[in-house]
Amino acid sequence: MALSADSIAKDLGTTLVGRQVVYKPVVTSTMDEARCLAVDGAAEGAVVFADAQTAGRGRFRRRWVTPPGESIAVSIIFRPSGEQLPSLSQMGALAAAQAIEAVTGLSVALKWPNDLMVNGRKVGGVLVESDEGGLAILGIGINVALDPESYAETAAATSLALELGREVSRLGLLRRLLQELDRLYSELRSGGDLRTAWADRLRTLGQTIRVQTPTGVEEGLATAVDSHGALILRRRDGSQVKLLAGEVTMQLSTSEG
Ligand code: BTN
């Protein structure tokens, strides 16, 4: 079935996520579209899906490639409490991992903080943009049919179709993703903790890694994550550092040898 606002929303069975669905063939970024929608008064749970993005962005404002018809590029409007906000990106990663596994049978791991990894390569990512007025936009990008070798930005990445050797229905995957988000957000709102499920998927723990942080490079053994998802590194000199944001650029070794 073709992707449309109706085919995405029909009989979705969710309580909050997908109450409103906007489908656009091309946007600059679904993050911008969702922000405009929120400013115009859209309710929590409103979804913006685009077939293509001309200025899709990732963490640290890197370009996120979204060619027509090959990806999932979706943003969802949330109005979380201050306590729920730090869990939103973990919720996005968890929902995406669960949806991909349910629809494709592939196993999904997470690279800290929230890269979606299949067979050691990045297949998707999560971005949260929030403001002081309590608005948070959760953006999720998944390479579904994209050929990673066609773009410099994705040369080291992968796609679901590439890993599976067959096509994957974007509509089926998107609907499942919205259902998983709805379930996890309701869990979060009723005081549930997603941290254990998220941390169980983190393949970064137990590895000696190099991390590019906004203030410099850190190296050490990733020993744990704290209650906000920050990564605890034990440096070679025995000191500890807590990283709130960063990009794991290299795995130097694993503690398993
Ligand atoms: C990352 O891994 O750096 C995060 C990537 C997030 C990409 C998604 S695609 C939908 C939404 N719109 C954007 O411009 N970015 C996010």
Write out the H or E segment, with its range, that includes residue 241: strand 240-243
Q: Is the pLDDT of residue 165 over 80?
A: yes
CA–CA distance, 36 with 38 (Å, rounded to integer): 5
pLDDT value, residue 200: 94
73 CB less than 6 Å from ligand 1? yes
- Extract the tokens encoding 120: 């050691």
Q: How confident is the model at residue 168 (pLDDT cuts 50, 70, 90)?
A: very high
Closest residue by Cα to atom 16, ligand 1, is 139
The DSSP secondary structure of 131-195, one letter per residue, reads -TTS-EEEEEEEESS--GGGSGGGTT---HHHHHTS---HHHHHHHHHHHHHHHHHHHHTT---H
237 pLDDT higher than 70? yes
C-beta of 122 in contact with ligand 1 (< 6 A): no
CA–centroid distance, 43 to ligand 1, in Å, is 21
71-109 pLDDT, tens per residue? 999 999 999 999 999 999 999 999 999 999 999 999 999
Q: How confident is the model at residue 256 (pLDDT cuts 50, 70, 90)?
A: very low
How many Å apart are CA 80 and CA 91, to the nearest integer?
12
Lowest mean pLDDT among 183-187, 217-221, 248-252: 248-252
Over 70: is that where the pLDDT of 247 sits?
yes
- The answer on pLDDT for 190 being more than 60 is yes
Q: Note the pLDDT of residue 94.
A: 98
Gap between the Cα atoms of 87 and 43, Å rounded: 20
The percentage of residues in the chain with a pLDDT greater than 70, rounded to a whole number, is 98
177, pLDDT greater than 60: yes
* Helices and strands (H, E) in the chain, number of each type: 6, 12
| Preceding peptide of 113 cis, ω within 30° | yes
Nearest-CA residue for atom 14 of ligand 1: 56
Q: Is the CB of 64 under 6 A from ligand 1?
A: yes
Structure pTM?
Answer: 0.95
How many angstroms separate the CA atoms of 37 and 43, rounded? 9
**pLDDT the model gives residue 227:** 84
CB 225 within 8 A of CB 112: yes
Asked if 189 and 175 touch (Cβ cutoff 8 Å), the reply is: no
The confidence score (pLDDT) of residue 254 equals 60
Distance CA 104, CA 94 (A): 15
To 10 degrees, the CA torsion angle through 144, 122, 182, 99? 60
Predicted pLDDT at 172: 98
Q: Residue 108: what pLDDT?
A: 98
Rounded Cα distance, 31 and 48, in Å: 8
| Pocket lining: 154 vs ligand 1, CB cutoff 6 Å | no
